[in-house]
Amino acid sequence: MSDHEYKPKSKAGKWFNDRLPLLTLGAHLTDYPTPKNLNYWWTFGGILTFCLLTQIITGVVLAMHYVAHADLAFASVEHIMRDVNYGWLIRYIHSNGASMFFLAVYIHIFRSLFYGSYKSPREVIWIIGLLIYLLMMAAAFMGYVLPWGQMSFWGATVITNLFSAIPLVGESITTWLWGAYSVDNPTLNRFFSLHYLIPFLILGLVVLHIWALHVPGNNNPVGIDIKKPSKDTVPFHPYITIKDAFALLMFMIVFAGFVFFTPNVLGHSDNYIPANPLVTPAHIVPEWYLLPFYAILRSVPDKLGGVILMFGAIFILFVLPWLDTSKVRSAVFRPLYRQFYWIFVIDVLMLGYIGAMPAEGIYLVLARVGTIYYFLHFIVVLPVVGLLEKTEPIPMSISDPVLSSGAEPSLAKKDNVKI
Amino acid sequence: MSKEEKKVNRRDFLYTASYTVGAVGVGAVVWPLIDQMNPDKAQKALATTEVDISNIEPGKEITVLWRGKPVFLKRRTPEEIAEARSVSLDDLPDPQKDEERVIEGKDEWLVMLGVCTHLGCVPLKNKGDFKGWFCPCHGSHYDVSGRIRKGPAPKNMEIPKFEFVDNNTIKIG
């Protein structure tokens, strides 16, 4: 894949690189030609890497103090909050870090939807990304169970009961997941084990995600294929690293704002009550990042149907590259898709809001409309719009729109020489 | 390679035999890894619970824990029993007579898993549109016999296996 032969300068470097070409890999990552017009929506890949590492580091530390037992878990979390040095800080970073992780991943996904990054030849990057997203949801759900509060217990009960909707084998699967006849100590114990495992699976998939990205190279806001390297690209380092670093800094300000000023605003106070298998809290709500899917689940008046639509809402994303019939990637040149894109964004936000509301009256009606539209967007709107739409003219190169919109051509030329 | 050589030879036999033995071996290793997640002996040992019911007045209800799940024990009044039995089976999403949900001769005792058949929450007593139970999680209504009447739950609340050890003791499980 490397377009050039990298030669280490030092003798030791050459000796090592001949045996394991890590330095060649490093050089590839540094020089990796990147479209020069990437905007800040493209900085979330770096931010997500930061989020994953933050969760792994704080998680490993928390596991040094946490006890995965139904009788001790709740107290051990309080022990972390009160007794362990900086335990409160590390736990708040970890719990808010999960929300920050999802915030970043949603922006990352919606960026891909707007600029058509999921389209050929980047379908595999998209699918690996969705697998990461699925694992993230599994990890977040199991992590939320570990403090063994009321929301932990009843969230686990409701989510594991989703599998009981499967005909014939549903009950056996649920009992197998529990390791008991209800959510109990064996459930907590295995969730802890899996919660520790999944981040490393995600890390492996992230490597594949980036590897798959480096084959065709980045998509870009204009969405056209570019020659690499060329006057349309800049080396990853220092151009993208510095931009990513700046965006990360901004992101960390928001992150720190949550951790230090409102560390519990994204959680539920019910989870500070120890788990009680005899009493269900009045309002069971999942964490905010799962609310749209929860709204879809509740909008269907049938148990199996609700479960199928909820999982369907996620799995339909896997075939998205083949549902979108438009050859033009970026919504910048797709006047019709651009409008449907924003309707879809509003639809998902609305479903998220409804997911937090009681399932009755006007909310139930809106949830049903929102659910139907969610699926219509993928099954009808995307294939049809791609065929009917008259797209706007696409530039031949990234430099094209820049130069024709009144930028100083001589300056651009100078830049190219530098590169 | 000529056509005659396509007939089964020693090597084909070896391939098939190796794959078969390999598959059996993989299965033998995978099954313990899967089955270890099923309820263990300690969990199964908790399979029965005995409950003293001598203090429960008619119209009252208690909740006990059995296998980690709540069990509702309700001593119903004659009016409640009459009401449960007056319901037409056509009005029930999961048709079942009240008589089938109790032990004959002990009709006042309703013993059932206090677990909503939708997604497993514990329904609240004396709530909902049918004077029975109401599940706050996703809005399922149950009647005085614990039968589903309205909402997303597909089935009536489950009746566990139970028996009267004597007049004052019920054994669940």
Mind listing the pLDDT tens digit for each residue in B3-14? 556 788 899 999
pLDDT at position B89 is 86
- The three-class DSSP label of residue A316 is helix
Percent of chain A whose pLDDT exceeds 70: 95
Interchain proximity A303–B118, CB inside 8 Å = yes
Question: Which has more confidence, A240 or B107?
Answer: A240
Determine which helix (DSSP H) or strand (DSSP E) holds A243, and give its type and residue range.
helix A241-261
CA-nearest of A418, A42, A415, A402 to A241 is A42
**Confidence at A408, pLDDT banded by 50, 70, 90:** very low
Given a cut of 50, the residues of chain B with pLDDT beneath it are none
Mind listing the pLDDT tens digit for each residue in B127-165? 888 888 998 888 889 998 899 988 888 899 999 888 888
* Chain B residue nearest residue A302, CA to CA: B152
What is the rounded average pLDDT of the residues A367-372?
96
pLDDT at position A419 is 37
pLDDT of A383 > 70? The answer is yes
CB within 8 Å of A155: residues ≥ 6 apart:
A141, A144, A145, A284, A286
Mind listing the pLDDT tens digit for each residue in A285-316? 899 999 999 999 988 888 899 999 999 999 99
Q: Provide the shortest C-alpha distance from residue A381 to chain B (in Å).
A: 30
Q: Which residues in chain A are contacts of B40 at CB distance < 8 A?
A: 179, 186
Taking the CB of residue A268, how many other CB atoms lie within 10 A of it? 20
CA–CA distance from A155 to each of A65, A100, A209, B88, B171 (Å)? 23, 20, 31, 36, 30
Phi, psi of A66 (to 5 degrees): -85, 145
**Confidence at A209, pLDDT banded by 50, 70, 90:** very high
Read out DSSP for chain B? --GGGGS--HHHHHHHHHHHHHHHHHHHHHHHHHHTTS--HHHHHT--EEEE-TTPPTT-EEEEEETTEEEEEEE--HHHHHHHHHS-GGG-SS---GGGGS-TT-TTEEEEE---TTT-PPPEET-STTEEEEETTTTEEEETT--EEESS--SPPPPPPEEEEETTEEEE-
**Both structure tokens of A148:** 């063994």
pLDDT of A406 > 50? The answer is no
Interchain proximity A277–B68, CB inside 8 Å = yes
Interchain proximity A158–B120, CB inside 8 Å = yes
Q: Which residues in chain B are contacts of A162 at CB distance < 8 A?
A: 119
What is the rounded average pLDDT of the residues A143-160?
94
Q: Is B62 on the interface with A (CB under 8 A)?
A: no
Interchain proximity B138–A359, CB inside 8 Å = yes
pLDDT at position A325 is 95
CA-nearest of A161, A164, A137, A142 to A152 is A142
Q: Which residues in chain B are contacts of A164 at CB distance < 8 A?
A: 120
Edge-first strand order for the sheet with B140-143 is B124-125, B131-135, B140-143, B148-150
pLDDT of A414 > 60? The answer is no
Q: Which residues in chain B are contacts of A190 at CB distance < 8 A?
A: 37
Interchain proximity B120–A278, CB inside 8 Å = no
Determine which helix (DSSP H) or strand (DSSP E) holds A234, and give its type and residue range.
strand A233-235
Q: Which residues in chain B are contacts of A360 at CB distance < 8 A?
A: 139
Domains in chain A, ordered, with CATH?
Answer: 24-399+410-414 (1.20.810.10)
Give A146: exposed, middle or buried? Use CB within 10 Å, 0-12, 13-18, 19+.
buried
Query: Cα separation of A268 and A12, whole Å?
Result: 56
Question: Which has more confidence, A325 or B55?
Answer: A325
What is the rounded average pLDDT of the residues A33-58?
97
pLDDT of A415 > 50? The answer is no
Question: Which has more confidence, A232 or B8?
Answer: A232
Contact (Cβ atoms closer than 8 angstroms) between residue A348 and residue A342: no
Q: Which residues in chain A are contacts of B43 at CB distance < 8 A?
A: 179-181, 184, 186
Percent of chain A whose pLDDT exceeds 90: 83
CA-nearest of B106, B101, B127, B96 to B58 is B106
**Does the annotation mark B138 as catalytic?**
yes
Interchain proximity A306–B152, CB inside 8 Å = yes
Interchain proximity B70–A277, CB inside 8 Å = yes
**Confidence at A228, pLDDT banded by 50, 70, 90:** confident
**Confidence at A405, pLDDT banded by 50, 70, 90:** low
Query: Cα separation of B172 and B109, whole Å?
Result: 13
Query: Cα separation of B18 and B98, whole Å?
Result: 59
Q: How far is CA B138 from the centre of its chain?
A: 19
Interchain proximity B121–A280, CB inside 8 Å = yes
Q: Which residues, in sequence order, are bridge partners of residue A152? A: none
Mind listing the pLDDT tens digit for each residue in A161-203? 989 889 999 989 999 999 999 999 999 999 999 999 999 999 9
**Confidence at A2, pLDDT banded by 50, 70, 90:** very low
**Both structure tokens of B66:** 């059995």
CA-nearest of B34, B75, B50, B18 to B166 is B50
pLDDT at position A210 is 97
Query: Cα separation of B124 and B141, whole Å?
Result: 10
**Both structure tokens of A151:** 């929301």
DSSP code, position A343: H
Residue of A145, A161, A197 to mutate, testing the B interface (most B Cβ within 10 Å of its Cβ): A161
Interface residue ranges in chain A relative to chain B, Cβ cutoff 8 Å? 154, 157-158, 160-162, 164, 175-184, 186, 190, 277-280, 282-284, 298, 300-304, 306, 358-360
Read out DSSP for A200-230? HHHHHHHHHHHHHHHTT----TT-----SSS
Question: Which has more confidence, A158 or A128?
Answer: A128
* Residue of B44, B85, B138, B155 marked catalytic: B138
What is the rounded average pLDDT of the residues A133-160?
95
Q: Provide the shortest C-alpha distance from residue A128 to chain B (in Å).
A: 26
Q: What is the ipTM of this complex?
A: 0.80
Tell me the CA end-to-end span of chain B in Å, nearest whole number. Answer: 68
Q: Is B67 on the interface with A (CB under 8 A)?
A: yes
Q: Provide the shortest C-alpha distance from residue B130 to chain A (in Å).
A: 17
Interchain proximity B119–A277, CB inside 8 Å = no
Q: Which amino acid is at A378?
A: F
Query: Cα separation of A333 and B120, whole Å?
Result: 49
